[in-house]
Amino acid sequence: MDKYVIIGIVLVLCVLMVIYTQTGGNSTPKLSLKQQIEKAFPQYKVIDKFNGVAICKEDSRKFLEELVIIRVDAEQSKNIRDTGITKILTYSKQPSLAQIRKDIAGHLS
At 23 the pLDDT is 78
Q: Could you list the residue range(s) of the whole structural domain that residue 44 is in?
A: 33-103
Question: What residues have CB less than 8 Å from 107, skipping those under 6 apart?
Answer: 67, 68, 87
Q: How many other CB atoms are found less than 10 A from the CB of residue 53?
A: 23
Name the 3-class secondary structure at 107. Answer: coil
Query: Residue 29's pLDDT is what?
Result: 63
Q: Is 14 a member of any domain?
A: no
Residue 42 lies in a domain: yes
16, part of any domain:
no
The pTM is what?
0.70
> What is the pLDDT, as a whole number, of residue 28?
54
With respect to residue 74, please indicate whether it lies within any of the assigned structural domains: yes
Per-residue pLDDT of the chain (109 residues; tens, 9 = 90+): 789 999 999 999 999 999 888 876 555 567 889 999 999 999 999 999 888 999 999 988 989 999 999 999 999 999 999 999 999 999 999 999 999 999 998 888 7
The tally of domains found in the chain comes to 1
Q: What is the C-alpha separation between 10 and 87, in angstroms, rounded?
A: 54
